[in-house]
Amino acid sequence: MTVIDGNRMIGTGFPPDEGVRLAVNLLSKTDLDWTELTIDLTRGDAAMLISAFFNSFLQTIYEQATERFDEARKIQWTLKYQFQNESVREWIYDFEPAAVH
């Protein structure tokens, strides 16, 4: 299993923009195996780790590397509190990518 410190891959901007940044940074690591990947966000700010952050992360993966989208859905996330972990699981499960026009 590979564990990545997600907080080092994002900034402090608008949450949807930071979700994009995380996706782009992850995609740039071309040798990274996503099949057993955990992203550790326990140091992340709760105000940052909202639905818009994860939705824009998944949407960016879908737009830039559609073939990796299913793997992205299976990424494990570690957050500080149980309510955050439960929320993220729900958001990831519910997410539907928007078609790119």
> Which residues are near another protein by CB under 8 A?
12-16, 45-52, 55, 80-81, 83-84, 87, 91, 94-96, 98
* Cβ distance to another protein smaller for residue 1 or 47: 47
Strand order in the sheet with 2-5: 2-5, 37-40, 76-78
Nearest approach, Cβ of 31 to another protein (angstroms)?
A: 31
* Cβ distance to another protein smaller for residue 55 or 75: 55
* Cβ distance to another protein smaller for residue 37 or 62: 62
Nearest approach, Cβ of 5 to another protein (angstroms)?
A: 18
Cα 81 to Cα 42, 63, 94, 99: the distances in Å are 8, 30, 20, 33
Ramachandran region of residue 100, left (φ > 0), alpha (ψ -120 to 50) or beta?
beta
Nearest approach, Cβ of 74 to another protein (angstroms)?
A: 18
**Which residues on adjacent β-strands are paired with residue 78?**
40
* Cβ distance to another protein smaller for residue 31 or 96: 96
Give the whole-angstrom CA distance, residue 46 versus residue 36. 25
